[in-house]
Amino acid sequence: MSEMTSLQTSLLAGSLSLIPNSTLRYLLLALFVVSTLVHAIHVRRPSVQLRRVEDQIKDIDEIIRHAGRFCTAKDRLSLGEHAVWLLEVKRGVSMVKCRILEATSMLTWKKYRLIAKDIAIYAKDAKRIKAAVELLVEVECQRRLTEDISETETILSGFRHSSGFSASVKNQNSNSSAPEASV
């Protein structure tokens, strides 16, 4: 049991113990259980799950657009492949949405389970795409940082050699680290 669940249970039990009337206490406990079940059922509804996947797809689409602006040609090819995979997920989500709209009047338990299974698959695919695209973006960021570091070091080493800067820095460091003689 998680800490949050045990905390909520403790708070509920403590709150119920403060109610002197046992009938009212059981009535509130039943109300709490029913509201928890309604919330759990609402969260598991296919339309709510589908909305979450659609929001996730929008986020991934934005990441891909942003990443396409500064990636190398090799990375753009990989981004393109992930964009195609994302489009396939979008199409699958759209087909599930059509099945939900067609079954609005009567959604059997079997259809509900199949739709929920399909939504879970598309949500998993979306997470994989997001992780892969974020990895590509991070690798590109590291590559650019490495280039910047190497360019800066090259500039600094050229500056040091041309101006004798490194010798004067060494002399200053040795003078400042030597203890001063007292007069």
Assessment of whether the complete model's pTM goes beyond 0.75: no
Which residue range(s) make up the domain with 63? Answer: 40-147
Ramachandran assignment for 11, one of left (phi > 0), alpha (psi -120 to 50 degrees), beta (any other): alpha
- For the stretch 51-60, what's the b/e string if a residue is b when 16 or more beta carbons lie within 10 angstroms of its beta carbon? eebbebbeeb
Residue 102 falls within a domain, yes or no?
yes
Tokens for 154, please give them.
């090259």
Q: What pLDDT sits at residue 159?
A: 80
The 10s digit of each residue's pLDDT in 112-125 is 888 889 999 999 99
Count how many domains the chain has.
1
The answer to the question of residue 58 being in a domain is yes
The pLDDT tens digits for 59-75 are: 999 999 888 887 777 78
Per-residue confidence at 182, pLDDT binned at 50, 70, 90?
very low
- Can you give the pLDDT at residue 126? 95
**12 lies in a domain?**
no
Residue in 115, 106, 114, 110 with CA at minimum distance from that of residue 48: 115
Q: By mean pLDDT, which of 100-104, 107-111, 169-173 is the weakest?
A: 169-173
Domain membership flag for residue 27: no
59 lies in a domain?
yes
Looking at the domain assignment, is residue 78 inside a domain?
A: yes
pLDDT tier at 168, thresholds 50, 70, 90? low
128 assigned to some structural domain: yes
Domain contains 172: no
